[in-house]
Structure 1
Amino acid sequence: MTKSAQSSDALQFVWRRFLRIFPGFWAVLLVGAFIVGPIYWMLEGHALGAYFGFGPGSPWAYLYTNALLNIGQYQIWDIWSATTPYGLAGNGGPINGSIWTLVYEFTCYLLIAGLLFFLVLKRAKVLVPIIAACFLLLQVVNLLSGEGTGSSEAARIVPYLGSYWPTNFGLIFFLGATLAIYADRVPYSNWLGAGAGLVSLVTLRFGGFNTLGYFTTAYFVLFLAARLPKLFQRVGARNDYSYGVYLYGWIIEQVLAYAGVNRWGYVPYVFLSLVGAGACAVVSWHLVEKQALKLKDVGPGVGFAGIATAARSMANRRRREEGDLPASQPVEPRAQPAEPRETSA
């Protein structure tokens, strides 16, 4: 994301991130509310007409409450609350329990857009690792205070960070941003790659993954991306199904659990979940996400410079129509090229 920001202005970056996130997100909300919801409402013995009522817990509330990424309603009525293992464990029956992380992701995009707008990414890029270091410090504060989820001890230092997750995701994101900003200075070594992979495994097993492990895993993933055969670089090169797998994974898992597939064992359950989510991701990419991205250079996609040029053109056209400019005067006069200088042989 930071690499993308470096090749655009703040307006273009936000517009393109909006197109990448929101259309697919809104589509999965509609699928949950008007395809999955009605089917399982009736399978659980209710009349279809009652499903489309209004008020809290309704499919309409599910749509407008969640539309801006901040998930305020997970369930639609009581669907799946008593018919899936997750619901029977006392967790309710979320239609899509994975999408809660998107608001944190998009907030990080907005932070990057702010840094881009104030030219930090070009003229003061050292602030990016400083921000990452601040998130690391807050992460350590949370972990030492025993806060792994829920309320955050770091909120006493930074009130905005009212829970553990902004700190955790902020650290991950700005670690990646730092690697992007200083990509030309990151050493590339087989020994470092192997060591980073080993440290990542050790921290996963014995602790420390939420601090040191984030650093080593980030390096290890980038090392693999550069070291694996070229065949692996074709993954996602033309069609990016990753977001669709994320959006539809939970729904497919719950549908399979409702049918009792989870009792077949972990491996077949996970495999069929990936197959189902992958199929939905293909449809989501080609019908929604890819189509939305075709608008990336439209409207705000032209950026501040494009909007300024269009505004000047409109102003000059209006002045011509009012007679303030000669009709033959060009709208956007171009500077004459400099005369070439003679150089010695």
Structure 2
Amino acid sequence: MSRSAPVLPGRRGTLGELYSPRANSFGVLRLVLASSVVLSHVWPIGWGPLDPLWTYSGAQTDVGKMAVVGFFVLSGFMITGSGARGTCGRYAWHRALRILPGLWGSLLVSALVVLPLLYAHLHGTTDGYWNHREGPVSYLQGTWNTSVSTHWDISGVLSEGKARGTNFDPGVNGALWSLKYEVFCYVMVGLLAASGALRRARRLVPLTAAVLGLLILRDWVTAPSPRGIPGDMRAAVQVPLLGSMSVHFLIHLCFVFLIGATFQLYRDRVPVHDGLALICAAVLGGTLVCGGVFVLGYPAFAYLLLWLAIRLPRPFRRIGRERDYSYGIYIYGFTVEQALALLGYARYGKPVFLLLAMAGTLLLAALSWHLVESQAMKLKNWTPRFVRGPGRRGSTAVRPRPEPRPAVGEPEPAPTATTG
């Protein structure tokens, strides 16, 4: 009689066995990560220096950048599932629906509502705002697609505020810098899906992640300090449609995105183990203190996020399921904080500033979800004529392919974009 394999203490199963697209904690994780970005910007926008993690980690990272890394891990996991099971046309349609309407809405709100009010606060009128050489029309023309330039001001509002003594970045929405890197990763998954690599050559994904990891390791080993930032932060490349992109962030963000993608493709081999999660937490903490967060801390953080998505108590699974405000928090938080700083609310201290920033951001995020994002997602099962299959030219809808197994899929009600 054969003996059964021993069950390791803390072992719960594999990621493939335990992950369900309809019963997980990705929603609350996205909300926490998005709110962490708002928290991180309190320091530089209201007072100048970066958040305390920057100093604690020896200038390796800060809370906002770790939140962005978390977003890319979750996106890599979920978006790869979407790309593996659908057609390329529908994959691109879903990604565009999730990211562009909300982005365009935030650009319009900034240019046509928030900044005119700030201009009126500074000048007592909006007369000079609309016909300024670098006014709202110039801003919208320059930021309408995903190659968003985060240094854009409108009609000199933020520059004038800075000249009066406020300590904020001169851009309307500096948080949008990561969007084009997210779109780059979407295109990468689309190409892998179109070539069949996600089904027939899936090992290409972890191998590419390993190559990027080796590049980061090489830069870290040759860096002047083990707690410094590896690589040249000034090097950039021009990417068609996306514009200038930092080589540093391309390598680092693609690395963590592909880690998430690897977890998706090899979910049947990834153990969900409490002891392993504890080790990863120790590794992450140790690298923040001693150095190497880019090399060892990022993979450990990636595993922790997916472990939390499975292991958080059941009530957390309800958060963000019906109303996903995380993307709205991400795309509106910076602008709200800029407005608060210009209006002088930093004088009331960080707790009050953060409370006001979160309240204003949540209001705009809720409006964005209910009026723009969720409305756009109602079109997810409609396919434009130019991406329909040749046998479906006369139909306006395409039935989704049946799920091959419950563990493959996107959380409902909508696939995620920059915020997971």
Cα deviation, residue 239, structure 1: 1.4
Query: Is the 8 Å Cα contact of residues 216 and 231 (structure 2) preserved in structure 1?
Result: no
* Partner in structure 2 of residue 335 of structure 1: none
Question: Which one of 77, 80, 90 corresponds to residue 158 of structure 2?
Answer: 80
Whether 2:102 is the aligned partner of 1:18: answer: no
Whether 2:207 is the aligned partner of 1:126: answer: no
Q: Which moved more, 1:1-10 or 1:101-110?
A: 1-10
More helix by share: 1
Q: Which residues in structure 2 correspond to 1:252-267 (within 5 Å)? A: 252-267=336-351
Q: Which residues in structure 2 correspond to 1:96-245 (within 5 Å)? A: 96-143=173-220, 144-145=222-223, 147=230, 150-152=233-235, 163-245=247-329
Whether 2:386 is the aligned partner of 1:308: answer: no
Question: Which one of 297, 301, 308 corresponds to residue 381 of structure 2?
Answer: 297
Runs of at least 5 residues in structure 2 that lack an aligned partner in the other structure? 1-78, 224-228, 239-243, 396-420
Whether 2:113 is the aligned partner of 1:30: answer: no
Q: Which moved more, 1:38-47 or 1:24-33?
A: 38-47
Q: Which moved more, 1:70-79 or 1:178-187?
A: 70-79
Cα deviation, residue 245, structure 1: 0.3
Structure 1 residues 174 and 8, CA gap change in structure 2 (3 angstroms): same
Cα deviation, residue 265, structure 1: 2.5
Paired with 2:258 and 2:165, the residues of 1 have a C-alpha distance of 35
Q: Which moved more, 1:26-35 or 1:165-174?
A: 165-174
Cα deviation, residue 270, structure 1: 2.1
Structure 1 residues 18 and 149, CA gap change in structure 2 (3 angstroms): farther
SS of 1:275's equivalent in the other structure is helix
Letter in 1 for 2:147: N
Letter in 2 for 1:252: V
* Partner in structure 1 of residue 144 of structure 2: 67
Query: Is the 8 Å Cα contact of residues 149 and 164 (structure 1) preserved in structure 2?
Result: yes
Query: Is the 8 Å Cα contact of residues 26 and 67 (structure 1) preserved in structure 2?
Result: yes
Q: Which moved more, 1:12-21 or 1:266-275?
A: 266-275
Structure 1 residues 123 and 206, CA gap change in structure 2 (3 angstroms): same
Asked which structure has the greater CA Rg, the reply is 1
Aligned-pair RMSD on alpha carbons? 2.6
Letter in 1 for 2:195: F
SS of 2:370's equivalent in the other structure is helix
Structure 1 residues 153 and 141, CA gap change in structure 2 (3 angstroms): farther
Structure 1 residues 136 and 46, CA gap change in structure 2 (3 angstroms): farther
Paired with 1:261 and 1:124, the residues of 2 have a C-alpha distance of 54
Structure 1 residues 240 and 85, CA gap change in structure 2 (3 angstroms): farther
Paired with 1:213 and 1:288, the residues of 2 have a C-alpha distance of 36
Query: Is the 8 Å Cα contact of residues 203 and 209 (structure 1) preserved in structure 2?
Result: yes
Query: Is the 8 Å Cα contact of residues 54 and 60 (structure 1) preserved in structure 2?
Result: no
* Partner in structure 1 of residue 80 of structure 2: 2
* Partner in structure 1 of residue 59 of structure 2: none
SS of 1:238's equivalent in the other structure is coil
TM-score by length of 1: 0.81
Query: Is the 8 Å Cα contact of residues 166 and 342 (structure 2) preserved in structure 1?
Result: no
Paired with 1:201 and 1:269, the residues of 2 have a C-alpha distance of 28
SS of 1:95's equivalent in the other structure is coil
Higher relative contact order (CA 8 A, sep 6+): 2
Q: Which residues in structure 2 correspond to 1:311-322 (within 5 Å)? A: 311=393
Letter in 1 for 2:346: N
Question: Which one of 58, 61, 68 corresponds to residue 135 of structure 2?
Answer: 58
* Partner in structure 1 of residue 43 of structure 2: none
Cα deviation, residue 134, structure 1: 2.0
* Corresponding pairs, count: 305
Query: Is the 8 Å Cα contact of residues 84 and 257 (structure 1) preserved in structure 2?
Result: no
Structure 1 residues 138 and 151, CA gap change in structure 2 (3 angstroms): farther
Cα deviation, residue 250, structure 1: 0.3
Query: Is the 8 Å Cα contact of residues 193 and 219 (structure 1) preserved in structure 2?
Result: yes
SS of 2:192's equivalent in the other structure is helix
Cα deviation, residue 50, structure 1: 1.7
